Structure 1
């Protein structure tokens, strides 16, 4: 008896954040393991930076951007917002001759695009009757109703239902060797323990603020450690404000990395001993690279998908004090 050929597979990742995509990495690997060539293609929004997040993943064949309805903060029109652009996107998918699609979403739109693209096997969450009419590969799952964020639990339930995994898989991220080597060299002058600060945020309400980050940097550097301020180009101003709050004598223990490369940020994290900061992509990237992290959750429910990620919660970010952060870091083993 011969084993049938494995299908050429594409996966839809609907969520818009880097952290959301990182949570899906183990499940992309699981799908790739039962797909043609041990690889999958991934459809993702530009904001989750999939091409960079997944750059070192050997199981990724390609990333296909679907740019519909960008975040309001981006203040732009998506390339695929119009009907004509979406039909052109369908034509691109049809030309790739995918045999199967896994849709990590309960949106009927993706199932409709897959049907129009001629993808014969279509699996998705199946939250609605409309979506199930367009899908043909049950089983389906129910929306997550438990505490905290729903994205990782729903992704897990979907993969368990389809026999891809037996239970939750803690996300871990691959990083390019060149990026790791460069980060090790650049961080060599900074003494250990090195604390990475997650200073970026997609929403102002989740931001602990430059003043408190500055005070925390002073406290940790004053104890002999060093601090790496991590974020994207949008965080350059915040990083400068944090540096301004640090006495000149301690600034040699500080490093700013406010740049666009996800692989660079992940590599820097690999050479830090702790991460602390806002609920954003860097925090999730830290634990996905094996770095213990303390997330400050004053505006969102604490995350609980990884034992390396601990939470310090408050009724608003202003309620989380610098002393409380220092004390909690000590409980995690920080000097």
Structure 2
């Protein structure tokens, strides 16, 4: 899961990530990673605690070089996150990538990026991102049978 974002209005709420992360932990074997930059490490650690409090588990990855980030995204089964460079990296390698798009237009240049849009196109900024529910992301995963979510 990629929690970062160049601007605040492109960032999904941590509570939504926590709910989604706990659900994914319960549904899938493997390791759930919380990805971000070193500047987002405290936020990532807080999210890790939130997921743990909901019965899930996650590892924090915030200290990768650019080369390591590329290798990491290439090896993943699924990426879920904001409209950021990590989303683009994952999708470019063919890793299934769920992009959370509130106000910004969805990326469509590679088929591996799957946009989940705000359900209310009238909303703008942070409100548009908040309107994307964890349940809608899970529904998208199940409907599209991405990495075994059925």
| TM-score under structure 2 length normalisation | 0.85
Using CA pairs below 8 Å that are at least 6 residues apart, which structure has the higher relative contact order? 2
Residue in 2 that maps onto 1:246? 51
Aligned length: 137
Q: Deviations over 1:74-115 (max 9, x none)?
A: xxxxxxxxxxxxxxxxxxxxxxxxxxxxxxxxxxxxxxxxxx
Specify the SS of the correspondent of 2:41.
helix
Aligned counterparts of 1:331 and 1:234: Cα–Cα separation in 2 = 35
Query: Are residues 1:296 and 2:108 paired?
Result: no
Cα distance in 2 for residues equivalent to 1:265 and 1:305: 21
Cα displacement (A) at 1:235: 1.3
Residue of structure 1 in register with 2:41 after alignment: 236
Report the Cα offset of residue 260 of structure 1.
4.4
CA shift for structure 1 position 211: 1.1
Task: Tell me which residue corresponds to 2:129.
Answer: 317
Partner Cα separation in structure 2 for residue 260 and residue 247 of structure 1: 23
Cα deviation per residue 1:199-218 (whole Å; 9 max; x = unaligned)? Answer: 11000000002111111100
The aligned counterpart of 1:218 is 22
- Alignment partner, residue 283 of structure 1: 87
> Secondary structure of the residue that 2:56 maps to in structure 1?
helix
Q: Match of 1:327?
A: 139
Which residue is equivalent to 1:109?
A: none
1:266 aligns with 2:70: yes
1:300 shift after superposition: 0.6
Q: Displacement, 1:302? A: 0.7
Aligned CA distance change for structure 1 residues 273 and 260 (closer, same or farther; 3 Å): closer
Instruction: Provide the rounded CA distance (Å) in 1 between the counterparts of 2:74 and 2:106.
Output: 23
Partner of 1:204: 8
Report Cα offsets for 1:116-173 as digits up to 9, x if no partner.
xxxxxxxxxxxxxxxxxxxxxxxxxxxxxxxxxxxxxxxxxxxxxxxxxxxxxxxxxx
2:74–2:95 CA contact under 8 A, matched in 1: yes
In the alignment, the residues of structure 2 paired with residue 309 and residue 224 of structure 1 have an alpha-carbon distance, to the nearest angstrom, of 21
Inter-partner Cα distance in structure 1 for 2:19 and 2:66: 27
Provide Cα deviations, 1:284-331, integer angstroms capped at 9, x if missing partner: 000111101110000211111111111111131011000000011122
TM-score (structure 1 length as normaliser): 0.39
RMSD: 1.5
**Segments of 4+ moved more than 3 angstroms:** none
